[in-house]
Amino acid sequence: MLRKQISIGTIIIIMIVAFHVVCLVSLVSFLKWISELSEFWETQLGIMCLLGITVFVIICIHTVEAWTWAFIYLILGEFSDLKKALYFSVVTSTALGYGDITLSERWQILSTFEAMGGLLLFGVSTAFLFGFMRIVFSF
């Protein structure tokens, strides 16, 4: 069973990392495109809007990833309802780890992939935001 958890976890994490990277690269393209449309984006209000859009998109990316893990836990039969599966997924991906809900021993190792991925991808998103702000606020 360990081999199955590692295989499934590896496949899922590869897909989620690929999704995350594609989304961030697409976000860069969108931000370049939108900033060239008008001088508005060079104003203080425009810059605040770009920053707000960027943060919103990053939150959406992480939300899709948490929902993906939640549906996987449901498919595997670890949870009977979406609310608990989503709660567990968000707590796991953020490394908050309350421990009030856990997976059965059969799938415990799988959740460690979500935790590792969450830590790494939140770090990537944070670095992306800092890089974006460095470019936008450079004088």
What's the one-letter identity of residue 53?
I
Nearest CA to 16 out of 66, 59, 57 is that of 66
Tokens of 63: 């939300």
Angle between the 108-136 and 82-93 helix axes, to the nearest 10 degrees?
60
The CATH code of domain 2-136 reads 1.10.287
Distance CA 55, CA 53 (A): 6
Could you report the per-residue pLDDT of 35-93, keeping only the tens digit for each?
Answer: 899 899 888 899 999 999 999 999 999 999 999 999 999 999 999 999 999 999 999 99
Q: In the 8-state DSSP scheme, what is residue 106?
A: T
The residue extents of the domains of the chain are 2-136
Give me the pLDDT at residue 2, please.
87
Could you report the per-residue pLDDT of 52-68, keeping only the tens digit for each?
Answer: 999 999 999 999 999 99
